[in-house]
Structure 1
Amino acid sequence: MAKAMTKSQLVAALADEMGSDKKTAGGALDAVCALITREVAAGGSVTLPGVGKIYCRERPERTVRNPATGESFTKEADKVVKMTIAKALKDSVNG
């Protein structure tokens, strides 16, 4: 399995793809991340063409079990961020 790409490696690759410097690419990456965070936190979703859809889903209150002690307790309702991967990305990885 390949190592995960770090932010600095991603910025360098993005700068190369854009044909610009790392500072501009880093600013663009930060702006996109901030925009996605703001939209998903507000309850919306963001679709990245060819990559997938990022959205927030609400989970209802539920009973869970502590695996260490076996004790059951009720966990409050919460929200979780999900991502659905685009078919194009799945196909490029598998084929």
Structure 2
Amino acid sequence: MALNRSELVSAIAAKSGLTKTDADAALSALQDVLVEQLSAGEAVKITGLLSVERVERKARTGRNPRTGEEIEIPAGYGVKISAGSILKKAVTQ
């Protein structure tokens, strides 16, 4: 089962003592900062939790799975998310 945004906001509010409105504003601010920094090519690292960075993807040749036809995939950017030690430890217990 996945935690959706409203459930996450409720959980943050309960753990932090913030109102749901303030918790939602904090989550929105985190989202805005992540988007701004990644758009500028900067990585975001929250020690122990995660790191998020923009990575370059080279142009490559792919294959249309339906027809088998080769297609050229242009160069572009992707996002790499790496789990920090706290997350890694949480999922191995």
Same fold (TM over 0.5): yes
Aligned pair partner of 2:16 in 9, 18, 23: 18
Shift of 1:14: 0.5
CA distance in 2, matches of 1:57, 1:66: 24
1:4-83 residue pairs with structure 2 within 5 A?
4-83=2-81
Shift of 1:52: 1.0
Code of the residue aligned with 2:82 in structure 1: it is T
Tell me which stretches of 4 or more aligned residues in structure 1 moved more than 2 Å.
Answer: none
RMSD of equivalent CA atoms:
0.9
The answer for unaligned runs of 5 or more in structure 2 is: none
- Percent of aligned pairs sharing the same letter: 34
- Provide TM-score, normalisation by structure 2: 0.94
Shift of 1:57: 0.3
Code of the residue aligned with 1:78 in structure 2: it is G
CA distance in 2, matches of 1:21, 1:45: 30
* Deviation readout 1:15-73 (Å, 9 max, x if unpaired): 11110210011001100110011001110100122221000101011000001100001
Instruction: Work out the number of aligned pairs and report it.
Output: 93
CA distance in 1, matches of 2:37, 2:44: 7
Code of the residue aligned with 2:47 in structure 1: it is P
- Provide TM-score, normalisation by structure 1: 0.92
Shift of 1:13: 0.6
2:92 maps to 94
Code of the residue aligned with 1:69 in structure 2: it is T
